[in-house]
Amino acid sequence: MNTVKTNWAAADPDPLTIGGRTFESRLIVGTGKYRDAEQTVAALRASGAEMVTVAVRRVDLDASKEESLLHHLDPREFFLLPNTAGCYTEEDAVRYARLGREAGLSDWVKLEVIGDQETLLPDTDALLAATRTLVAEGFTVLPYTNDDLITALKLQDAGAAAVMPLASPIGSGLGLLNPLNIRLLKTRLDVPIIVDAGVGTASDACATMEQGVDGILMNTALAAADRPVLMAHAMRQAVEAGRAAWLAGRMPKREWAVPSSPSTGMLD
Amino acid sequence: MLRVEVNGKDREVPVGHTVADLLDDLGLDGRLVVVELNRQIIRRTEIEDVVLRDEDRMEIVHFVGGG
């Protein structure tokens, strides 16, 4: 039998392009909370992600052997996206973004300004202000936000290179709670929509991509799985499947049955 | 000796010590860390030229795993 293998990513009419840079993988993954550096790198490779997030923190001067993540991650293999995780004010977020730019090789930043410790939901006022400041400084800003259309439109106006709404709270694994809002954002914004946070398992990732969004960013779903490398593999397939299903265009839903086999030609 | 604060802890350094000298003392690779001195980022190309002053506050950061 002849089998034809199609490169779906190459057939995508609308490849993921952020800030003038095109990515083949629509999956962006975080590097936090894995067992060790070896597992981190193995999971990143299994995910197929080209862009990975990193955090900026103080060097622990008391540790006997303090290791930078850069000892294990080759910036030629993965495009590093520094985040401002843990920042609660515009000032802190801008400070961390500048440190990340100096530590890394690009002026890209995953901008987080958290407004509440319990939910880790964003402070959208401070997020907007920080976006404006960093865009003015030449940063390519990818803000993590809630799934509110008006905030997303303001972030786009402020110069965000992509808008990254949550599926559900960071680290919750609850999956996509409001597909309607996510579809609204995708319909109304011109910049890429990357769903960031909340995906728990492969079906969540697939269902999220089926809303037509441009990509997904996840960390805990991989790192907190019993087998992170296997979950990274599953997520890669789920993101590809969801994207292909979106491009394919799903059949309409009906509330009654329609036979798949011919109703004619039945025996007497 | 001068007294400077490094990552929240007091430390004594000799007069004339540069940022690069302090990184050496700490066994840190200047290519893998970023130094902020009194809230100003010190470019990698400048760490050998910046001389520490009494009561300087220094932060040394690097990339760690994060989401």
Domains of chain B with CATH codes? 2-61 (3.10.20.30)
Work out the average pLDDT over A97-123: 95
For chains A and B, count residue pairs whose Cβ atoms are closer than 8 Å: 96
Whole-number pLDDT of residue A13: 84
Confidence of residue A19 (pLDDT cuts 50, 70, 90): very high
Which of A61, A70, A85 has its CB closest to that of B63? A70
Which of A58, A99, A220 has its CB closest to that of B67? A220
* Position A222 pLDDT exceeds 60: yes
Q: Per the CB < 8 Å rule, is A68 touching B64?
A: yes
> Does residue A20 form part of some domain?
no
Whole-number pLDDT of residue B20: 96
* Position A204 pLDDT exceeds 90: yes
A5 has catalytic annotation: no
Residues A10, A260: Cα–Cα separation, whole Å: 32
Which of B6, B36, B63 has its CB closest to that of A68? B63
Instruction: Say yes or no: A35 contacts chain B, CB-CB below 8 A.
Output: no
Q: What do you get for the CA distance between the two ends of chain A, in Å?
A: 36
Confidence of residue A71 (pLDDT cuts 50, 70, 90): confident
Residue A23: name the closest of A239, A188, A198 by CA.
Answer: A239
Work out the average pLDDT over A174-185: 97
Query: To the nearest 10°, the Cα dihedral for A77, A101, A189, A202?
Result: 40
Contact residues, A window 121-180, toward B, CB-based 8 Å cutoff: 170
Q: What is the pLDDT along chain B (67 residues), one digit of tens a residue?
A: 999 999 999 999 999 999 999 999 999 998 899 999 999 999 999 999 999 999 999 999 999 999 9
> Does residue A8 form part of some domain?
no
More confident residue, A9 or A60: A60
> Does residue A132 form part of some domain?
yes
Which of A110, A154, A186, A253 is catalytic? The answer is A110
Work out the average pLDDT over A156-163: 98
Q: Hey, is A6 helix, strand or coil? A: coil
For the whole model, what pTM was predicted? 0.92
Whole-number pLDDT of residue A228: 98
Query: To the nearest 10°, the Cα dihedral for A102, A36, A170, A227?
Result: 140
Whole-number pLDDT of residue A261: 94
Cβ-contact A213, A234 below 8 angstroms: no
Q: In this predicted model, what pLDDT tens digit does every residue of A236-255 receive, in sequence order?
A: 999 999 999 999 999 999 99
Q: Hey, is A22 helix, strand or coil? A: strand
Confidence of residue A67 (pLDDT cuts 50, 70, 90): confident
> Does residue A11 form part of some domain?
no
Q: What is the DSSP annotation of A233-249?
A: HHHHHHHHHHHHHHHH-
Residue A104 DSSP code: S
Work out the average pLDDT over A167-195: 97
Q: Per the CB < 8 Å rule, is A58 touching B7?
A: yes
> Does residue A222 form part of some domain?
yes
Q: Which of A104-108, A150-154, B22-26 has the lowest mean pLDDT?
A: A104-108
Query: To the nearest 10°, the Cα dihedral for B33, B34, B37, B40?
Result: 180
> Does residue A9 form part of some domain?
no
Q: In this predicted model, what pLDDT tens digit does every residue of A38-58 receive, in sequence order?
A: 999 999 999 999 999 999 999
Residues A36, A40: Cα–Cα separation, whole Å: 6
> Does residue A185 form part of some domain?
no
A20, A36, A203 from A155: Cα distances, Å: 18, 35, 29
Confidence of residue A14 (pLDDT cuts 50, 70, 90): confident
Which of B28, B41, B65 has its CB closest to that of A31? B65
Question: Which CATH number covers residue A89?
Answer: 3.20.20.70
A230 is written with which tokens?
């296997």
> Does residue A241 form part of some domain?
yes
- In chain B, residues with a C-beta closer than 8 Å to the C-beta of A102 are 34, 41, 43-44
Q: Per the CB < 8 Å rule, is B67 touching A69?
A: no
Confidence of residue A5 (pLDDT cuts 50, 70, 90): low
Which one of A68, A106, A137 would you mutate to disrupt binding with B, by most B Cβ within 10 Å of its Cβ?
A: A68
- Average pLDDT over all residues of chain A: 94
Alpha helices by DSSP H, listed for chain A, are 8-11, 37-47, 90-103, 124-136, 149-157, 179-188, 202-209, 220-223, 228-248
* Position A69 pLDDT exceeds 90: no
Instruction: Say yes or no: A99 contacts chain B, CB-CB below 8 A.
Output: yes
**What's the domain range around A200?**
25-57+70-170+190-247
- In chain A, residues with a C-beta closer than 8 Å to the C-beta of B59 are 58
Whole-number pLDDT of residue A191: 98
Whole-number pLDDT of residue A236: 97
Whole-number pLDDT of residue A4: 56
Residue A122 DSSP code: B
The shortest C-alpha distance from A55 to chain B (Å) reads 5
Whole-number pLDDT of residue A65: 63
**Domain total of chain A:** 1
Confidence of residue A104 (pLDDT cuts 50, 70, 90): confident
Q: What whole-number percentage of chain A has pLDDT above 70? A: 95
